[in-house]
Amino acid sequence: MIHSINQIGWLPGRSGVRILDQTLLPTEERFLDITTVEQMAEAIRALRVRGAPLIGIAAAMGVAAAAGRLDGSPVRRRENVLGACDVLQATRPTAVNLAWALDRMRRRARSAGQEEDLRGALTAEADAIWEEDRAMCQRIGEAGLPLLPDGATVHTHCNAGALATGGIGTALAPIYLAHAAGRRVQVIADETRPLLQGSRLTAWELTRAGIPTTVIADSMAASRLRQGDITCVIVGADRIARNGDVANKIGSYGLALAAREHAVPFYVAAPRSTFDAATPHGAAIPIEERAPDELRGMGGSSARPTAPDAANIWNPAFDVTPAELIAGYITDAGLLGRGELERLVGG
Amino acid sequence: MIHSINQIGWLPGRSGVRILDQTLLPTEERFLDITTVEQMAEAIRALRVRGAPLIGIAAAMGVAAAAGRLDGSPVRRRENVLGACDVLQATRPTAVNLAWALDRMRRRARSAGQEEDLRGALTAEADAIWEEDRAMCQRIGEAGLPLLPDGATVHTHCNAGALATGGIGTALAPIYLAHAAGRRVQVIADETRPLLQGSRLTAWELTRAGIPTTVIADSMAASRLRQGDITCVIVGADRIARNGDVANKIGSYGLALAAREHAVPFYVAAPRSTFDAATPHGAAIPIEERAPDELRGMGGSSARPTAPDAANIWNPAFDVTPAELIAGYITDAGLLGRGELERLVGG
């Protein structure tokens, strides 16, 4: 590991899962020791652990740890494991990675023989999910590393970093590797309203790793890009359509327009699992609208409302950046151009 | 008056000034009765009254009201008035309108004859400043009214409304007039980080006037413009350079880029006093950087920091929108194209 954020880990003897409580960042670095499925469900629901890959890993580890304390017959214990998977999946019903990781745990539980050590099998499966994610982050980092020469300045949006994955992140992975290679690299982080993942999380994990980071309001991005010293923009992706259009955190599209205006290349970093060949283009991607309260206050709090009750709120979680604004895709299958995306299928 | 926000007014007998405390919006509509220069200085410093034209008017009215309680010889009373002007001007040293309004009050105090009613002269001068501002807002509204047909949707940024002026605002003036004329008009208001003038102030004053308003995060503007139903963007201006480049609240430039991408005309509404023929172009406009704390929390509060101490903050107050992105200038001298800006000089 080239950094030491410890966003997730096993408790001694794999008896439970230790997570960093991300709701307390950036002011407090507090770890939670989770030993029951109920505790893990609460942690996922309350966003104490977040980021699509990381909640999949956390849920899988939580299921494995809980299996160590089950009594009864093999059949009964297997049913308990499947029940735990259902409880955890219900915490974030639209999270694709969560469902995918729990499906792997379910399949492993079902395939376990009567004599097999159920807990050992599930622990190994959770470790495999985590390790695959770490390796995926590493490959994304290596694919993007050539884009960041010594002295590079990277502009990013939201948090596609270590705090969202089991490894060194996706959009931030090339930055961590460049820093580890001794290159001077600095980062401009959009704060990312409404939930402030840029200022709360990206700025926290990067500065903790010793990478100079400057937080700006989302509305300042165009002015910052105009200054002429930004090497590239790198953002994550929630879904990549067949034609290369990308759904990502709201604000990515406006950032891409500003980057084009100032001839700054705009890259999308994502694992191949993000590529959805069944979606022909961005207009076919459904855009989730989130609760108005996120915009009526700061970070979801409405203790002191910032908009009048009489006003409507529009709060889409994502936007779509058209493929023609994207210079390349930094993936675990390498740095790809738009015409090479089919290499992400299967893989 | 076509609305009833009462952002400012005289107390009975012009014995003082009643202001709406804008720091409590949008949750509380509380008025402050100000009878001393010290109270007015505090109100301006604390942004209880804000907006370049409005603080000029408030300061002038405050000086006039205070003059009514002065004792002593005419010379002594005049010196007290000049001292009051100095106290108020020091509250916002870079506010051009404030200095301009107080200079008018100083000149009037100096020109007052020994036998003249000093208080009456100053009250009349303050009334003239206020009335001229109201008329300027009205003329801007009339210049922009033809841009807003029945069913129009206007996208705006920050607050260039009644709460910033003594009348119906600048960018919002055409909207108020269209509404008063019985046209259906609705508004998209960027929340305007860091200080949230869009969600706190623009959304408040428009919904209070019965104009449907939707608040979005600044980062959502490009996605909203893509939807294809925005009639035009109208923003205010802090300074218009000779070539038509406009300095305005940070975020205006990115909004203008997104508007051009979606073929939505981008208008700037401002009084002729905003046109600065001595500034050749936008690059010559100094951009004020404000306190980092505005971005380390919500609305200037850092009770619960949102960015780590180790992160740098870049917090420019304004950006520059190049003239080629601007469809027209909605002014008190009419709706002008870029080549007609010289009509704003003198006037």
* pLDDT in the model for residue B129: 97
- Side chain identity, residue B124: A
Check whether B204 has a pLDDT greater than 90. Answer: yes
B212 φ, ψ to 5°? -60, 130
* pLDDT in the model for residue B300: 47
**Active-site residue identified among B238, B245, B319, B332:** B238
The answer to whether A198 and B295 have CB atoms below 8 angstroms apart is no
Q: What is the pLDDT of residues B54-63, one digit of tens each?
A: 999 999 999 9
* pLDDT in the model for residue B346: 59
* pLDDT in the model for residue B297: 78
Q: Which chain B residues touch A257 with a CB distance below 8 Å?
A: 222, 254, 257-258, 261
Q: What is the pLDDT of residues B244-254, one digit of tens each?
A: 999 999 999 99
Question: Nearest-CA distance from A344 to chain B in Å?
Answer: 27
The CA angle A1-A234-B289, to the nearest 5 degrees, is 105
Q: Which of B155, B191, B204, B219 to probe by mutation at the A interface, max A CB count within 10 Å?
A: B219
Burial of A347 (0-12, 13-18, 19+ CB in 10 A): exposed
Partner A, chain B 17-46, Cβ-Cβ below 8 Å: 26-27
Of A190, A192, A308, the CB nearest to B26: A308
Quick check: is B238 catalytic?
yes
Q: Which of B277, B275, B288, B274 minimizes the C-alpha distance to B318? A: B288
The secondary element (H helix, E strand) that includes residue A239 is strand A239-241
User: In A21-160, at which residue ranges do the beta strands (DSSP E only) sit?
Assistant: 31-34, 152-156
Q: Which chain B residues touch A295 with a CB distance below 8 Å?
A: 191, 199, 215-217
Check whether A129 has a pLDDT greater than 70. Answer: yes
Mean pLDDT taken over chain B: 93
Of A193, A218, A308, the CB nearest to B207: A308
The secondary element (H helix, E strand) that includes residue A67 is helix A52-67
Question: Nearest-CA distance from B29 to chain A in Å?
Answer: 11
Inter-chain residue contact B253 with A222, CB threshold 8 Å: yes
Mean pLDDT of B22-38: 95
Q: B269: which strand partners?
A: B330
Q: Which chain B residues touch A315 with a CB distance below 8 Å?
A: 216-217, 220
Higher local confidence (pLDDT), A291 or A325 = A325
Inter-chain residue contact B191 with A313, CB threshold 8 Å: no
The CA angle B85-B86-B90, to the nearest 5 degrees, is 115
CB proximity A304 to B under 8 Å: yes
Q: Which of B22, B186, B306 to probe by mutation at the A interface, max A CB count within 10 Å?
A: B306
Share of chain B above pLDDT 90, in %: 83
pLDDT interval class at B286 (50, 70, 90): confident
pLDDT interval class at A222 (50, 70, 90): very high
* ipTM of model over 0.90: yes
pLDDT interval class at B342 (50, 70, 90): confident
Check whether B53 has a pLDDT greater than 50. Answer: yes
Q: Which chain B residues touch A220 with a CB distance below 8 Å?
A: 250-251, 314-316, 319
Of B215, B257, B314, the CB nearest to A224: B314
SS3 assignment, position A213: strand
pLDDT interval class at A215 (50, 70, 90): very high
Of A208, A217, A295, the CB nearest to B250: A217
Q: A263: which strand partners?
A: none
> CB within 8 A of B241, min separation 6: which ones?
B247, B276, B279, B280, B281, B282, B284, B285
Mean pLDDT of B292-321: 85
Of A223, A296, A314, the CB nearest to B216: A314
Check whether B165 has a pLDDT greater than 60. Answer: yes
Pairing, β A334-336 against β A275-276 = unpaired
pLDDT interval class at A300 (50, 70, 90): very low
Retrieve residue A228's tokens. 């002429």
Retrieve residue A314's tokens. 């529009």
CB proximity A215 to B under 8 Å: yes
Listed in sequence order, the DSSP H helices in chain B are 37-45, 52-67, 74-89, 96-111, 118-144, 173-180, 197, 203-208, 221-226, 252-261
Long-range Cβ contact pairs of A25-28 (< 8 A, separation 24 or more): A25/A163, A25/A200, A25/A201, A25/A204, A25/B308, A26/A199, A26/A200, A26/A201, A26/A203, A26/A204, A26/B305, A26/B306, A26/B307, A26/B308, A27/B304, A27/B305, A27/B308
Q: Would residue A262 be called left, alpha or beta, if left means φ above 0 and alpha means ψ between -120 and 50 degrees?
A: alpha
Residue with the two structure tokens 């203790």: A303
Q: Which residue does chain A place closest to B222, by CA atoms?
A: A254
Pairing, β A266-269 against β A328-331 = parallel
* pLDDT in the model for residue A343: 86
Using CA of residue A60, residue A65, residue A66, residue A68, what is the dihedral sign? positive
Mean pLDDT of B315-337: 97
Retrieve residue A179's tokens. 């820093």
Q: Which chain A residues touch B314 with a CB distance below 8 Å?
A: 188, 214-216, 220, 224
SS3 assignment, position B154: strand
* pLDDT in the model for residue A273: 87
User: In A118-178, at which residue ranges do the beta strands (DSSP E only) sit?
Assistant: 152-156
